[in-house]
Amino acid sequence: MTGQDVGPIDYLVVEFPGARLEGRGLAALLDLVERGIIRILDLRVAKVTDAGDVVGVALTDLDQDGELDLAVFEGVQSGLLDDDDLSGSASLIAPGNAVGLIVYENTWAGPFVTAMRDVGAEVVASGRIPADDVVAALDALETRSNA
């Protein structure tokens, strides 16, 4: 990645109740990659058994609809994730469910960051505002403007 425009790197941990991974969500992930908005650096999936054991899942036909859902990401590893990260993510979910852990680059931001560095600026912090907080703030704003 040296010498390239590199955007901020984020991760998501997603719980799949009943270990059901639906094709629509997977299609949305593929769409983001195909449009160049994100680049997947790591993608791991595991199931948590009823006994609490963590079992890795191959990235093939996750939703068992006969189509290879995420085989395009099979073997994608940046070295940013390890088994401890997957185990830690699995500890967040209920037994019988599956967990997906995705590390991705926000490729849309890479050229902006590079342009700022080219003029001497540096990104000194970045962060994430939880979606629930944003929705709550927008709802409060709407309530105040309707009062």
32 lies in a domain? yes
β-strand partners of 14: 100
86 lies in a domain? yes
51 lies in a domain? yes
pLDDT per residue, tens digit, the chain (147 aa), is 445 678 888 999 999 888 777 667 777 888 898 899 999 998 888 889 999 899 887 766 555 555 555 556 665 678 888 889 989 999 999 999 999 899 999 998 889 888 988 999 987 888 888 888 999 999 999 888 887
Q: Structure pTM?
A: 0.75
Rounded Cα distance between 78 and 131, Å, is 27
101 lies in a domain? yes
What is the number of domains present in the chain? 1
Contact 93, 18 (CB under 8 A): no
pLDDT at position 1: 43
Identify the domain containing residue 41 by its residue range: 9-108
66 lies in a domain? yes
